[in-house]
Chain A
């Protein structure tokens, strides 16, 4: 595994939030690469090698997916469902990263097999801490399944 680039997929419609996530992850050298998608449709296209992402080699499977829930076009929950209902993608850990604290969203996320549910903290230090921990946990401590396509 050493030497293999660690890819994080970020599905986030808010460009500012995406910038915050990417900047924090990069600063802490947690992930080699973050691929950002503004909406659910393009994220799914990437995962399922559709359209512009049809060459698997150029579009490797992410180690972990950071998924916002409120997305344009295909909603976050629908993205989650699609990932978890497809054999080739269901083993990828999906961490829901959203501003919503609503119980309904938490329940729906876990019901659809989300691996974790995190609420974006309001506050710079808290945000950095969360990203640190998240990186360490999912990309360090956590043993991920073999990547097989």
Chain B
């Protein structure tokens, strides 16, 4: 029963209220209609027809409305009820004779009802219909188209008024209850949202549309985020710009301008400086809020603190970056080391190393310094680019002491970095390397000994860190080993070559010695036999002759042995080189040879300057003596024997070229090489062992010089040789 009397439940409060209102109004109408019939039967029978007519319309319609409510068609039911009410009131008003009928108040109820069932719209339509109907009725009444108005007793009138008052009050109360609930709901929801807004771990803000996006509102989380009270942002609407990180300010303002112009959402990650000068990373997301007509109203944005995420990211990026850098460094170092080990020639190795390093690491300049023998100076042996070439040509070298990076690095055997930043900023002042902003010097150490250092320079102000040293020092160590290997290899090659030459010489020596020493023995033994025969035969002339032959052979053997001994001493026993004027040596030799020179009537001329040489004085005197006595020996039939001695220019190494020129028999070009060979003699009729020129060549070789001959048969001979001077120390 109760189920039937009450309308069904609705989830929505408003719908439920409306449904109740419509339901109970309809129920009320049914009761009222029945009551009306009863009343008319009792009080005014003449109105019975009318009441029956009205009831017959009102009751079924009301039932239909209640059914609609049951079927949850609240709105349709409401409209139907409004329409029913209008119909009833209009019919009653017409029948009651016009606008003065108290039922006219009913239109008020129709309008209220219209407003209740569906806000606004229906109530306006209802009002319009009611007004139109009222005017229509008034018109009809004025023109006498209506029955004469019923005269209502004051109480009847009041009863009807009261009825409508009650209904109006009821509808209004429902309406106001709805409004109140709505307001409360709105407030609650606002409160919820606000509480949500001000409690989420993000700061919300509202900015104005002006280009500087002045702050209109900012949620209280701001204080926790930035340390400034929220009022600070509304008091100074541009505070948010003032606390932008200087490095981010430009891009943030640029994006702000762009989004202000386009109205596109603003989304950026940037840094802000807190009140206590900390750096906070925020993610700023803002959208342009528009009103219903699509006009922009304000910017609604959210700041989220992403500092920890950024830090983690940065740490990770830093770590990855460092790992990548380290990996590349090690890879490159390995590559450079591998490439370096491929070169065994130091003169190829060093230029390749510097280019490899510069290109692989993209440095500005790379150079390798190697210590000289005295270990006082480090000379630039290879360097990149034209600058490097230029400095090497100039013979760039640095004193091994603390004042230069390279000097310090070699002295301490440790790497060193100099940067053009920070407190210890270094100003790089090498005019050849104007772009250098940071430098790293790495010692080249092999077998625990510093052999030089490498300079690596960059155009970046802080290109190097302590960590770089680890990777690059490994590379430097490898390079030092490669340099040492190349040196050892070069040394070995030259040793091998020397050894081979020595072997060949030894072989030649053994060969010639066995031949040339055997030769006098053959003579001695042979003539010893004849000596006996001579004695037996009593041929004293031949005896004497043969005896002389034996004697000469013995002398010759003696001479051979002496000169061989002399030859073997050269290079084995060396007198310390001394600075001696070549003139002194020459004078000494001339004194020794004055006899033979005078005997042959040789004229001696000295041409060109005679410099001071740094030589083994005794040996070089032997050279001059041999050459001069050879010249005398091979004068031939020359009627005006002349020997010229002097210097003629310098060779490519800057060593002076000495010459001994004669106008004797000369030497055919095909013998020019052979004459320096052991025991090689051109003319057996001229006394000699064939060792002299070999000895001369050996002595010149030991001094690092060179000897050769220029001559043609019959046109005299010129022996030329070079000797070291004081200036060049090799």
Contact = CB atoms under 8 A, between A and B. Distances in A.
Contact of B523 (A20, A100, A128): A20
B519 A99 contact: yes
Interface string A84-100: 00000000000000111
Contacts of A123: 525, 529
A72 B683 contact: yes
Interface stretch (B46-54, B510-518, B715-723): B510-518
A38 interface: yes
A121 B522 contact: yes
A36 B553 CA distance: 20
Contacts of A73: 682-683
A16 B548 CA distance: 10
Contact of A100 (B511, B553, B684): B511
Interface in A51-92: 70-73
Contact of B526 (A13, A16, A39, A104): A16
A124 B549 contact: no
A20 B526 contact: yes
A26 interface: no
Given A123-B525, A127-B529, A16 B549 contact: yes
B553 A124 contact: no
Main SS of chain B's interface residues?
helix
Interface in B350-381: none
B514 A100 contact: yes
A122 interface: yes
Contacts of A121: 522
A19 interface: yes
A121 B519 CA distance: 10
Given A38-B684, A72-B682, A104-B511, A17 B519 contact: yes
B515 A100 contact: yes
B530 interface: yes
A138 B608 CA distance: 62
A70 B515 contact: yes
B522 A122 contact: yes
A72 B519 contact: no
Contacts of A98: 515
Main SS of chain A's interface residues?
loop
Give the residue among B526, B527, B682, B684 with the most A Cβ atoms within 10 A: B526
A124 B511 contact: no
B527 to A, nearest CB: 7
Contact of B518 (A19, A71, A99, A128): A99
A127 B528 CA distance: 12
B430 interface: no
B522 A127 contact: yes
Contacts of B679: 70
A125 interface: yes
Contacts of B527: 16, 20
Contacts of A102: 511, 514-515
Interface in B501-541: 511, 514-516, 518-519, 521-523, 525-530, 532
A83 B451 CA distance: 63
A101 interface: yes
A72 B553 CA distance: 19
Nearest to A16: B523
B468 to A, nearest CB: 63
Contact of B530 (A17, A23, A39): A23
Contacts of A99: 514-516, 518-519, 522
Interface residues of A, number: 27
Interface in B530-584: 530, 532, 549, 552-553
Nearest to A70: B515
A125 B521 contact: no
A125 B526 CA distance: 8
B698 interface: no
A39 B682 CA distance: 10
B685 interface: yes
B614 interface: no
B681 interface: yes
A128 B522 contact: no
Given A14-B519, A120-B522, A39 B684 contact: yes
Contacts of B514: 99-102
A24 B525 CA distance: 14
A136 B647 CA distance: 61
A29 B532 CA distance: 20
A17 B529 contact: no
B511 A122 contact: no
Nearest to A73: B682
Nearest to A69: B515
A17 B682 contact: no
Contacts of B523: 14, 16-17, 20
A145 to B, nearest CB: 31
B684 to A, nearest CB: 4
A104 to B, nearest CB: 7
A13 B553 CA distance: 14
A71 B682 CA distance: 8
Contacts of B529: 123-125, 127-128
Contacts of A39: 684
A49 B718 CA distance: 34
A85 B150 CA distance: 174
A123 B527 CA distance: 9
A102 B685 CA distance: 25
B511 A72 contact: no
A89 to B, nearest CB: 23
A122 B517 CA distance: 11
A19 B528 CA distance: 13
Contacts of B685: 38
Interface string B479-515: 0000000000000000000000000000000010011
Nearest to B517: A99
A40 to B, nearest CB: 11
A122 B521 CA distance: 6
Interface of B: 511, 514-516, 518-519, 521-523, 525-530, 532, 549, 552-553, 679, 681-685
Given A20-B530, A99-B514, A122-B521, 11 more contacts: A14-B519, A16-B526, A17-B522, A38-B684, A70-B679, A72-B683, A73-B682, A102-B511, A102-B514, A122-B525, A127-B525
Q: Which are the 3 A-B pairs with shortest beta-carbon distances?
A: A124-B529, A16-B523, A13-B684
22 contacts: A13-B684, A14-B523, A14-B684, A16-B549, A17-B522, A17-B523, A20-B527, A20-B530, A71-B684, A72-B681, A98-B515, A99-B514, A99-B518, A100-B515, A100-B518, A102-B511, A122-B522, A123-B525, A124-B525, A124-B528, A124-B530, A124-B532
